[in-house]
Each structure stands twice: as structure tokens, then as C-alpha cells.
Structure 1
Amino acid sequence: MQKTALVPYARLPRAHHDGHVLTSTVDVFGAAHWLLADHAPQPGDDLPPFDALVVSVDPYGNVELTELSAVRARWPHLDRLPDGGFVVAASRVRRYEDANQVQIFDALGRETSSFSVGDAIEHLLVDESGHIWVGHFDENPIGIRRWSATGRLAWTSDDAAIPGLFDCYALNVSGTTAWACTYTDFPLVEIRPDRLDRPVRVWANHVRGANAVAVHGERVAFYGGYGEERDRLAHGELTEAPVEPTDVGLLTGPDGLAPGRRRAVARGSRIYVQPEPFTAWCVFDLNN
């Protein structure tokens, strides 16, 4: 089976390797961010608000540090806002924390607002306009929503006729467009909320279980799957017909080995992959 090797992209500076990586992401402009704490949260811990550090590395290798005050999320999602601030959200919501689930921080690390987007966050990605896209997993099957940075619901999949939307397996946000694959039917969905004539397009899709998707022009690539297909990379074409895999191989680390436990973030034509111990990002680009 053909193998495609990831390319090294961004690395957490060694000076910060003593911090615990709570989460990490790559934003819509290509900068990588790590959210660091002094230690890892333990199961059953009822943590008070804590200070955290965001280490950012832009595509040119420049490093920026932002201290966030009074972070509340034990198992957080992170992304950067276009104004230089950050959004931090708890993936799970305990009843008494619901109103404070999402925290918005300014560029100086001060909390400016908080609101709730619903329990069971699988993906959280900010677009170029500063809207926050949230995809939920099946313990709270409310689908996909787009929020303003002030907590206003700007778009919802409720009436979008997306078949079998119980779990947002894959979400890709680039520009102001989102792409998704959802359980149970795994359609490929294009969402353009600002397009009045056809905001949602749906393709039936025969690639099952992918947890990241990249799109470039009429080409698409699906990463991941069930069981032995965990590292599968399947290519397809966007036509009027259902998406059929045209080429199936494996996506490996730069060393040719399987990445193992990892995070994946999809942005446009790119899939960023971060293997454990989560200190370095690699990239696959469908446009190359």
C-alpha cells in the first residue's frame, strides 16, 4: 500500500517542554498554538480556575507568549481569534458550569466574556471572520453550529438536511467555509453560511469513519478510519456523483512510521497531525 509521509511543520520551543500540554491547534492563518499548564488534570479533580500559557509559533517560526488568567476548562479546546485573542472551551459541561463553558480572552490574556455552546464538543475551529465553529459528538447530537465571539448563534445545522447527523467526525474550517463528515451516513458536507442561494451542499460518500478531511478545488482527501484503517489516506473527486475513493494509502509520520496516538486539525487543503507527546505538528497538503 502506498505511503505518504507527513512533513514537519511547527515545534513547541524546547524551553516550554516542562509544561503540560492541555491542548494544541493550528489556526486559520497557519499559526500553531499550545495551551500549557503546570500539571495535568487528574480524573475526579475539581480544579479551581488556573493560569495557563499559550505558546504560539507562526508559519515563519516566530514565537509569541500569552498568559491567560483564570482558565476554567479541565479538558479544553483552543483557537485564536483574528484580533489576537483566544477562545478556550470545555469539551464537557457539568451542569453548574454551563454558562461559563466558553471563555473569550483578549490579546493580553484577560477574559472578556463567557457563554455556552452545548455539551460534548468534538471540534472547535475559528474562521477568518472570527466566528467559532463547533461540531458535537453523539452524547449531545446537536450537530454543527457557528457562533459569534460574543455568543450569538450565527448558523445551525438543524434545518440543513444533513443526513444522519449524530456525531461530527470531521470538521475543516478555512476562510469562512466549513467542510464536515458526520456519523452515521458520513456525507461530505460543504457549508457556506454567507451564501444565500445554496449555503449547504451534500455529497454521498463511501469513505467511512474519517476524522479529518482536506479539500482543494475538486479534490478531496479523507484521513483516518476504524480499526486497521486508522492511518488511511483516501483520495476522491468532487462531481455530481457520490464520492468514491480513487486512491487509498497510508499517511505516516516523517520517519515513515505510523503516528500512533495523535491530534488532527484540518484547514482547507491541509491536514495537520500532532503525534504524542504533542510537541510538534506535521502537515499533509492536498495542494502539493
Structure 2
Amino acid sequence: MQKTALVPYAHLPRSHHDRHVLTSTVDVFGTAHWLLAGRPPQPGGDVRPFDALVVSVHPGGSVELTELNAVRARRPRLDRLPDGGFVVAAPRTRRCEDAHQVQVFDALGRETSSFSVGDAIEHLLVDEAGHVWVGHFDENPAGIRRWSPTGRLAWTSDGARIPGLFDCYALNVSGTAAWACPYTDFPLVEIRPDRPDRPVRVWTNRIRGAKAVAVHGARVAFYGGYGEERDRLAHGELTETSVEPTDVGLLTLPDGPAPGHRRVVSRGSRIYVQAEPFTTWGVFDLTS
């Protein structure tokens, strides 16, 4: 089986390796971010607000530091807003009405607002216009929704006729659009809320269980799967109504082994992968 190696993309500077990595992501403009704390959150009980450091590594290699004040999320999701601020969210809530689940920080690290998007966040990705896209896993039937950075619900998958949307396995946000591959039917879904004539397109798909998806023109790639297909990289071509598989291989780390426990972020034609100890991002680009 053909193996495709990730290309090294971004590294957390060694001067920050003494801190605990709470989470990490790559934003819509290609900048990698690490949210760091002095120590890992204590298990059990409420999380007391704590200060955290965001280390941002831009595509050209320059490094930017932002101190965030009074972060409340235990296992946070993170992304950057186009104005230089950040969104930090707790994936689980004890009450769906929890008003402090999502914190919005300005470019100086000061909290400016907070709101709730509901329990069971699987993905949280910000687009180029500053909309916050949230894909939920199966403990919340909300599916996929788009929010304004001030907490206004701007789009919902309710009534969108996406077949089998019980868990948003894969979500790709690029530009101001999103692509998804949800459980249980695993269709490939294109979402463009600002396109009035056809905001949602759906292609049937036989590739099951992918955790990330990349799209470029009529080409698509799915990463991940069940069991022995955990490191699968499956390619396909888009027809008018379906994804037609073309070939299947494995995606590996730059030095050869499988990633093991990892994070993934999908952005347009790219799938970013980060393996333990979560200090390095690699990238697969469908255009390469």
C-alpha cells in the first residue's frame, strides 16, 4: 500500500516546551497556535480561571505571543479571529445554557464576550469572515452550526437535508465555506450559507469513518477510519452526485511511522496532523 509522508509545517519553539500544551490548531490563514499553561488542569471539580499563553507561529516562521486572562475551559478548543483575537471554548457543558462556554478574547488577551453554543463540541473552526463553525458529536443533535463572534446563531443544519447527520466526524472550514463528512451515512457535504440558490450540496460517499477531509476542485481526500484503517488516506473524484474512490494509501509522519494519538485540522486542500507530544504540525496538501 502506498505511503504518503506528512510535510513538516510548524514547530512550537523549544523555549516553550516546559509548559503544558492544552490544545493546538492551525487557523484559516495557515498560522499554527498552541495554547499553553503552567501545568495541566487538575482532574475533577470545577476549573478555576487561569492565565494561559498562546504561541503563534506564522507561515513565514515569525513567532507571536498573546497572554489570555482568566481562561475557564478544562479541555479547550481554540482558534483565532481575523482581528487578532482568539476564541476559546469548553467542549462539554453541564448545562447547555452555560453562558460562559465560549470565551472571546481581543488581540491583547482580554475577554470581551462569552456565550454558549451547546454541549458536545467535536470541531470549532473560525472562517475568514470571523464566523465560528461548530460541529457536534452525537450527544448533541445540533449537528453543524455557524455563529457570529458575538454569539448570534447565523446558520444551522436543521432542515438542511443532510442524510444521517448524528455526529460531525470531519469538518473543513476554508474561506467562508465548510465541508463536512458526518456519521452515520458519511456523505460529503459542502456548506455555503451565503449562496442563496443552493447553500448545501451533498454527494453520496462509500468511504466510512474519516476524521478529516481535504477538497480541491473535483478531487477529495479522506483521512482516518475504523480499526486498521485509522491511518488510511483515501482519494476520490467528485461526480455530479457521488464521490468515486480512486486509490487508498497510508498517511505517515515525516520520518515514517504512523502518527498514533493525534490532532487533525482540515483547511481547504490541506489536512494538518499533530502527533504526541503535540509540539509539531505536519501537513498533507491535496494540490501537491
TM over 0.5: yes
1:207/1:244 contact within 8 Å kept? no
Secondary structure, in 3 states, of the residue corresponding to 2:244? Answer: coil
TM-score, scaled relative to structure 1: 0.99
Could you tell me which residue of structure 2 aligns to residue 72 of structure 1?
A: 72
**1:256: Cα distance to partner?**
1.3
Provide TM-score, normalisation by structure 2: 0.99
Whole-Å Cα distance in 1 between the matches of residues 6 and 218 of structure 2?
Answer: 22
Cα displacement string for residues 47-81 of structure 1 (whole angstroms, at most 9, x for unaligned residues): 21000000000000000000000000001000000
Q: How far apart are the structure 1 equivalents of 2:96 and 2:246?
A: 49
Q: Say which SS state the counterpart of residue 99 (structure 2) adopts.
A: helix
- 2:47 & 2:153 partners in 1: Cα distance? 29
Point out 4+ residue stretches in structure 1 off by more than 6 angstroms: none
For 2:91 and 2:142, locate their aligned partners in 1 and report how far apart those are by CA, in whole Å.
Answer: 14
Deviation at 1:243, TM superposition (A): 1.2
Structure 1 unaligned spans of 5+: none
Distance 2:53 2:27 in 1: 17
Is it true that 1:95 corresponds to 2:109 in the alignment?
no
Q: Which residue of 1 aligns with 2:62?
A: 62
Asked if the contact 2:202–2:241 (Cα under 8 Å) also holds between the matched residues in 1, the reply is no
Shift of 1:20: 0.4
CA distance in structure 2 between the partners assigned to 1:62 and 1:205 by the alignment: 40
- Confirm or deny: 8 A CA contact 2:69 2:111 kept in the other structure: yes
The answer on 1:123 being equivalent to 2:123 is yes
Distance in structure 1 (CA, Å) of the matches to 2:73 and 2:256: 35
What code does the residue aligned with 1:18 have? D
Cα distance in 2 for partners of 1:54, 1:28 equals 16
Report how far residue 141 of structure 1 moved.
2.0
**1:166 alignment partner in structure 2:** 166
Query: What amino acid sits opposite 1:61 in the alignment?
Result: G
Inter-CA distance 265–96: structure 2 relative to 1 (3 Å threshold):
closer
Question: Counterpart of 1:279?
Answer: 279
Q: Which residue of 2 aligns with 1:189?
A: 189
Deviation string 1:196-229 (CA, Å, 9 cap, x unpaired) is 0000000010000000000000000000000000
Secondary structure of the residue aligned to 1:10 is: strand
SS of the aligned residue for 1:134 comes to: strand
- 1:42, 1:164 → 2: CA distance? 37
Identical amino acids, percent of aligned pairs: 84
Cα RMSD after superposing both structures: 0.9
